[in-house]
Amino acid sequence: VLPTIYAITPTYKRAVQKAELTRLSNTFRLIPQFHWIVVEDSNARTELVSRFLAHSGLQCTHLHVPTPRRYKRPGMHRATEQRNAALDWLRMHRSSKNPGVVFFADDDNTYSVELFEEMRWTRKVSVWPVGLVGGGRYERPLVDKGRVVGWYTGWNANRPFPIDMAGFAVNLQVVLENPKAMFKRQGSKPGMQESDFLKQITKVEELEPRAANCTKVLVWHTRTEKVNLGNERWRDSIHIEV
Ligand code: UDP
Ligand code: MN
């Protein structure tokens, strides 16, 4: 059987939210054996996201957890609590009987369909390049004889795993076998979310390079411009969800 791909997407309310989710779901619909875990950064599940997922045609789990106010500041890591909530859900609802792969799919990135077939047969942790990240055109693991031997990265190459959230996937069994592995805020420095997490479950020597020995970009760390709502002067007579 094909291992299920569990994509974990933290998301929060803003003008572009539905557009982002639409772009994502249109890609995800093309992926067989796919399960979308959407975690809203909110006090409750919103109607917009609930309705959206119900009509998406995707196998979905819809969770929510609010980021504590003190962490909603510039420079703070984003979506720590949401990713952890998804990991908790997997540990509660999946077991050694469920072949799967876990991937952290932020709502604003761009994913090629090919990427998901690259990650599907991950044994422990697989890695690949990410485009448009780290202040350069791409970042990637350097590979020699099928092993990761270093990193091409724009900044702080001394991080244990200088890799973006979109640059790796983890076998579901590794998540289940390491029940305490989580994203942390305590003691975590800027840009260290990925390293702090990966350190708990793997070693560089074990990483499985994908995407033609990490020479192909199949995911892009795109960021969506903040929308200008400054021209919205009137009130329409009907309410339209955007
Ligand atoms: N996010 C969130 N709450 C926030 C800010 C961001 O849940 O207050 C989510 C966002 O929807 C995305 C992920 O966290 O899926 C990463 O955020 P963002 O894309 O803004 O981070 P960056 O691209 O700057 O790393
Ligand atoms: Mn982003």
57 vs 191 pLDDT, higher one: 57
| Mean pLDDT, rounded, of the chain | 97
- The mean pLDDT of 58-62, rounded to a whole number, is 98
Q: Does ligand 1 come within 6 angstroms of the Cβ of 132? A: no
Expressed in angstroms, the distance from the first to the final Cα of the chain is 39
Looking at the CA of 80, which ligand is closest?
A: 1
pLDDT of 156 over the 90 cut: no
Q: 132: pLDDT confidence band, cut at 50, 70 and 90?
A: very high
Q: 233: pLDDT confidence band, cut at 50, 70 and 90?
A: confident
> Quick one: DSSP state of residue 2?
P
Summarize pLDDT for 14-40 with one digit per residue, the tens: 999 999 999 999 999 999 999 999 999
Summarize pLDDT for 163-198 with one digit per residue, the tens: 999 999 999 999 999 999 999 999 888 889 999 999
Q: What number of residues does the chain have?
A: 242
Summarize pLDDT for 133-144 with one digit per residue, the tens: 999 999 999 999
pLDDT of 6 over the 90 cut: yes
Looking at the CA of 83, which ligand is closest?
A: 1
pLDDT at 157: 85
pTM over 0.95: yes
- State which H helix or E strand residue 143 sits in: strand 138-144
105 phi and psi angles, rounded to 5 deg: -110, 90
pLDDT of 114 over the 90 cut: yes
- 40 CA distance to ligand 1 middle (Å): 11
- The mean pLDDT of 79-101, rounded to a whole number, is 98
pLDDT of 110 over the 90 cut: yes
- The mean pLDDT of 108-121, rounded to a whole number, is 98
Catalytic residue among 20, 118, 139, 194, which? 194
Protein residue with its CA nearest to atom 15 in ligand 1: 106
Strand partners, 39: 10, 63
> Catalytic: 118?
no
Complex confidence, ipTM: 0.99
30 phi and psi angles, rounded to 5 deg: -85, 0
pLDDT of 49 over the 90 cut: yes
pLDDT at 10: 99
Span of 115-119, 151-155, 174-178, 211-215 with lowest mean pLDDT? 151-155
* 8 Å CB contact between 130 and 138: yes
* 8 Å CB contact between 220 and 130: yes
